[in-house]
Amino acid sequence: MKAGSFPFAEGLAPRIVVVMGVSGTGKSTVADGLHNLLGWPFQEGDALHPKSNVEKMAAGVPLTDEDRWPWLDTCRDWISERAKEGRGGVLTCSALKRIYRDRLRSSGVDITFLFLAIPEDVISARLQRREGHFMPASLLPSQFATLEEPDADEHVLVLPLTPTPAEQIADAVEALRQDQIVRSR
């Protein structure tokens, strides 16, 4: 699909977007949809985890802050490279704590966080059905315990649950469009 081929996506200036939330919220689906609609580079944050992190999570062991720092630094470096290119970029990253989001912003890049705020019971049901992912449903409570919802000063756009992935992607594009209008004033 060509960027701008959908009228509601026309005129969106490239920017760095981090699609965030606990596991199972649909981060990959939304990020891939933005990539397809807007043509901005896309990186699955889970693919940037070191092997030791993946093995730990697959074994049902929650990551510590110390486990996350190298991964967050790799995510930050990807963000910085996309910002230098000026073509925008979309990264999935749980970014559960403010200090993690601060680490992503530490290179000075303006990041728009799209926070997928989905109720725990909905996510739990999704994770029970999900196949082929290293993150077991048993770690969901630890993710919610770790989650610090973003504050207004973090340039966050909150996306609530929608009935279908297509609607969630459309809502994400609309939120970005509205944010661009507000920020250009």
- DSSP for 101-140, please give it: HHHHHTT---EEEEEEE--HHHHHHHHHH--S-SS-GGGH
Structure pTM? 0.88
Give pLDDT tens digits for 101-138.
999 999 999 999 999 998 877 776 666 665 655 556 66
Measure Cα distances from 88 to 68, 81, 84, 123, 128 in Å.
24, 10, 9, 29, 34
Instruction: Encode 64-79: b = buried (16+ Cβ within 10 Å), e = exposed.
Output: eeebbeebbebbbebb
Cβ 23 vs Cβ 123: under 8 Å:
yes
**pLDDT score of 87 more than 90:** yes
What is the pLDDT at residue 6? 57
Q: In whole angstroms, what is the distance from residue 162 CA to residue 106 CA?
A: 32
Mean pLDDT of 9-25: 89
Give pLDDT tens digits for 145-180.
889 999 989 999 999 888 888 999 999 999 999 999
